[in-house]
Amino acid sequence: DGKGGARNVPIDLSSRGYRWCRTCRIVRPPRASHCPDCDNCVLRYDHHCPFVNNCVGQRNYHFFFGFVTSVLCLAIMVLPVLFWFLNSDNFELAVDGLMHVSSGFLQPVFYGLIACGALIGIAVLLSAVLWFYHVFLIATKRTTKEFRRSIDNIAEEPTLCAARGPRLFDPFAMVDP
């Protein structure tokens, strides 16, 4: 039972923001938090991302930001190409080559492409909002969790530009059953 562990945190560490994690039964650094999805304590915990199914924190925040940037760039690049294709002569030639216009099949294809364009437009907007939100977090040196709890007194280095920190375990070590 890890409930009584808070008494074991030295006062000098407690005064600097170190806390006891009841689940992991360890002393947590100030910006670390326990992720209920991964069941781990994560250094400089930002959030648990359902899209990559992983915690985002100190050692992988820049990879997550690169992923969000890539998704935004892809969505921005696909949208004009789709509109260019719909307005080009190639679209009419492709449709005429695949089917006869008199068959009435042109309208569903055209409307399907318009629907794809609308979905990509929504993806651009949502990706841009997420990207700008994380740019704001980087500029204010906060994590998502700290922003949601309105914690402003962060004096540490920024999340994205910080060093990744040491590995806390050896991934190549043999695991004892």
More confident residue, 114 or 162: 114
Lowest mean pLDDT among 51-65, 81-95, 162-176: 162-176
Task: Please compute the mean of the pLDDT values over residues 33-55 and round it to a whole number.
Answer: 87
* 33-37, 116-120, 159-163, 169-173: the lowest-pLDDT one: 159-163
Q: Is 133 a residue whose pLDDT tops 70?
A: yes
DSSP state of 43: T
pLDDT, residue 79, reads: 85
Buried b (16+ CB within 10 A) or exposed e, 54-86: bbbbbbbbbebbeebeebbeebeeebeeeeeee
Looking at residue 20, its pLDDT comes to 85
- Of 29-33, 112-116, 156-160, minimum mean pLDDT range: 156-160
Would you call 49 a catalytic residue per the annotation? yes
Q: Break the chain into its structural domains and give their ranges.
A: 11-148
Catalytic residue among 49, 73, 116, 161: 49
Mean pLDDT for all residues in the chain: 79
| Mean pLDDT across 42-70 | 89
Angstrom distances, CA of residue 163 to CA of 11, 52, 58, 144, 160? 28, 22, 8, 19, 8
Least Cα distance to 30 among 40, 39, 43 occurs for 43
pTM: 0.74
DSSP assignment letter at 112: H
